[in-house]
Amino acid sequence: MAMPMTTASSCCYSNSNSYFLQSLRGPRISISSANSLLTLGRVASHAKLLARENKRQHIQCNYSTESSSGLDYSSAPIDVVADVKTEKIIVLGGSGFVGSAICKAAVARGIEAVSLSRLGRPTYIDSWVDQVTWVAGDVFYADWDGLLRGATAVVSTLGGFGTNEQMEKINGEANVLAVDAASKAGIPKFILISVHDYNLPSFLLNSGYFSGKRRAETEVLSKYPNSGTVLRPGFIYGKRKVNGFEIPLDLIGQPLEKFLLASENFTRGLSSLPGSDLFLAPPVSVDDVAGAVINAVTDDSVFGIFTIEQIKEAAAVVRS
């Protein structure tokens, strides 16, 4: 990021992973004035921006004027060292269907991605996989201090089905634990992949899956009132890889999404029927979910609860 400088200056800058940077010699620009001599004194300034501790940008400037008599009043080079803001996200469940899409999208945007999952590194081969740090582990026994070091956001894709107790644990307790750890570590943002607010009967909404997700949502919005994001997708489609096989969920989800959007005017009246949105809530692509996550990571004005339609809108912002 180049800093605004005074007129008649010349700057050069470079990125470096080194905490201490060697001085760079910038070119000099001479400005002649027919009416008067202008002498620019030396200025020393240091600008510091929010960033990870080992990412810095080095800028060097010098000022010069030249009179009609040929005298040179140029200054010595000025060093300006500024930290550059970079993003680093921790993706919980990063080797899964949604998590891997988020990691892939992060790599494409130049965002450092670290995945924590029981699987660790996925078994399939893809060029972006080598650019992600894969950590094998359990969220309940994670080394949070080491894992969260330098992170700017935590993204949780944790969730699953099973017995009521199991669903409460993975959808609720695991996420609550992660939010608490991130908050205590001072991580600026937390993004939760939750579930659409279905109009189901209360006995289903009180099951471990939905009640666990809502507990997690409450924790995110409580600990991160101005920087927490909750995405509520319905059926997520895309190419899901399981045990070396690719399941093309997009063959179902994509046409269904188009059909439901096209017939929305006809089906809107049915939306009040209990359980109707199990069939009428439009599917969303895994790439749109990943795009909405990236939007929340990179835009500080983005937070709160996102519906299916808002997820798609947020993803469109990233694509534009």
- Is the pLDDT at 26 greater than 50? The verdict is no
**Domain interval for residue 191:** 104-109+144-319
Report how far residue 234's alpha carbon sits from residue 231's, in angstroms, rounded to the nearest whole number.
Answer: 10
Report the CATH number at residue 153.
3.40.50.720
Report residue 317: phi and psi, to 5°: -65, -40
Please check whether residues 306 and 175 belong to one and the same domain.
yes
How many folded domains does the chain comprise?
2
- Is the pLDDT at 317 greater than 80? The verdict is yes
Report how far residue 264's alpha carbon sits from residue 256's, in angstroms, rounded to the nearest whole number.
Answer: 12
DSSP string over 91-144: EETTTSHHHHHHHHHHHHTT-EEEEEESS-S-SS--GGGGGEEEEE--GGG--H
In-domain check, residue 256: yes
In-domain check, residue 257: yes
Higher pLDDT, 203 or 102: 102
Please check whether residues 80 and 161 belong to one and the same domain.
no
Give pLDDT tens digits for 95-141.
Answer: 999 999 999 999 999 999 999 999 999 888 889 999 999 999 999 99
Report residue 264: phi and psi, to 5°: -60, -40
- What pLDDT does residue 199 have? 84
Mean pLDDT of the chain: 78
pTM comes to 0.70
Report the DSSP pairing between strands 88-92 and 9-16: unpaired
Of the chain, the percentage scoring pLDDT greater than 70 comes to 64
Please check whether residues 70 and 162 belong to one and the same domain.
no
Please check whether residues 149 and 266 belong to one and the same domain.
yes
In-domain check, residue 167: yes
Please check whether residues 159 and 293 belong to one and the same domain.
yes
Question: Tokens for 87?
Answer: 């993003």
